[in-house]
Amino acid sequence: MIIGHDIAGIREDAEGRSTIDVVNPADGSVIASVVAGSPADVDRAVAAAADAFGSWSTTPMAQRIVHVEALAEGLARHRERLAATLSAEMGSPIAFARSAQVGVAIADLARLVDAARAHVERESVSNSLVVSEPVGVVAAITPWNFPLHQIMLKVGAAILAGCTVVLKPSEVAPLNAAIVGDILREIGLPAGVVNIVHGDGAGVGSPLVAHPGVDMVTFTGSRGVGESVARAAAATIKKVALELGGKSAAIVLDDAPLEDSVRSVLASCFANAGQTCAAQTRVLVPADMLDAWQDAAITVAAGWAPGDPGVEATATGPVASVLQQERVRGHIATAIAEGARVLTGGLDIVEPTAGGAYVQPTIFTDVTPEMQIFHEEVFGPVLTITPYATVDEAVDLANDSVYGLSGGVWSSDPRRALDVALRMRTGTVGINGAGLDVGAPFGGYKQSGIGRECGVHGFEEFLELKSVMGAAALIDDLRDRLQTRNTADTNQ
């Protein structure tokens, strides 16, 4: 099966085109191929988005919401198909794919719709009328680790805001995006509002970011590629939103419940085979709790043994590709060479399914800030343990990173945990195991990115503000006219 682009509402013929194979990381088999897009394909997709922008940007919010709610219903209707596809193309265990990969994507859209409904398009500020308007044509570049979640955060927010989109999904895991294209046709989204161009960074990503017809780039991926995206977008002064890497720390305070903290931290680190940008991959433990915490971690880690991702009970599948397997194993080898001690896991090969790109969930201790493993994002199931003497030292260690995406604090006293959380230089912090809240803003400090996704703040990334000076007195009249128009559109 070869899948073509979705441009102007049409799935294009892939015959005779160069292709990119999609490989199942559980066994190395080729499960499909997608067209390897070119700058000419990007030109056509951007033109389609630009053509659709005039009518879509003036479509009343009530109608945009109807389309996005229909998209969410389509994801729910195709949940099993999407889960099976995600599991096959990037190795996510099937139960996790169903609940987290697809379930979270549906929840993303629900919270974005809430934000759109509550949005005030026109307001009086000082002596001016302030109007929010869509940015324009958006280039959305999404990753392979939570591909559907990221597509919904970007595409859902953009089209609710009145923007049109050219989506470049990861070439590692593009098949779920093709299903999204099918759903968009099912629900009758106007042609050109969302266009999907398959391909790699050189053929599609770079020309899309640099395209003069693109008004905004939203990118999720590595810090290094994010820098390249920002540099390329700067040539035309595009708006840029970047969600990049992380090396998030969990601080276990001396009154933390031992078993709960261990289970929560390991779940954060090992879920999705460690391929989560916000994973808590550094745990900071009081020195007098170290032995007990490590013993409990070894026991809990046994439940994260790799398995066939197609089996419902599997907790850890393969990483997304052989290339990713090599990268993760390289980090493990470097940590061992620098003196980190393996508590469990390591470099021994495991293959629950023959030919799979598996990595053993690995826990290191004796890790110090001088080691690469303390600072570099592994993006695999690898946890480091570092002891501390005082809470001030723990906060300093947590903040000793170029990243600032996420983190966690554990304590039997939630107020004490909050005090520590407020000292951490990260965009999100979970107290006592609290996880992602898709209604709250998600994004990072420092080199973890620019801008926010999810909920109100994620929706507002796709808006521009216009001040009409001297028009504040007219806002009531404008609000009445807008309300009358929206009521009429809803009743049609």
- Cβ 161 vs Cβ 134: under 8 Å: yes
CATH fold for domain 248-443: Aldehyde Dehydrogenase; Chain A, domain 2 (3.40.309)
- What is the structure's pLDDT at 387? 98
* Burial of residue 105 (number of CB atoms within 10 Å: 0-12, 13-18, 19+): buried
Q: Where are the domains of the chain?
A: 2-244+449-491, 248-443
- What is the structure's pLDDT at 487? 58
Q: Judge whether 2-244+449-491 and 248-443 match in fold.
A: no
Give the CA angle between residues 477, 481, 487 to the nearest 5°. 145
- Cβ 375 vs Cβ 247: under 8 Å: yes
Average pLDDT, the chain: 96
Class of domain 2-244+449-491 as given by CATH = alpha beta
| Of 450, 136, 434, the residue nearest 442 (C-alpha) | 450
- Which pTM value belongs to this model? 0.95
Question: pLDDT tens digits for 360-394?
Answer: 999 999 999 999 999 999 999 999 999 999 999 99
Place of tokens 């070119």: 38
pLDDT along the chain (492 residues), means of 10: 96 93 98 98 98 98 98 98 98 98 98 97 90 98 98 98 98 98 98 98 97 98 97 96 97 98 98 97 98 98 97 98 98 98 96 96 98 98 98 98 98 97 98 96 98 98 96 72 58 54
Q: Could you tell me the two tokens for 313? A: 């009970």
Question: pLDDT tens digits for 422-441?
Answer: 999 999 999 999 999 999 99
| Of 322, 351, 395, the residue nearest 172 (C-alpha) | 322
Q: Is 312 tagged catalytic?
A: no
- What is the structure's pLDDT at 48? 98
The catalytically annotated residue of 69, 80, 121, 243 is 243
| Of 230, 312, 243, 308, the residue nearest 276 (C-alpha) | 243
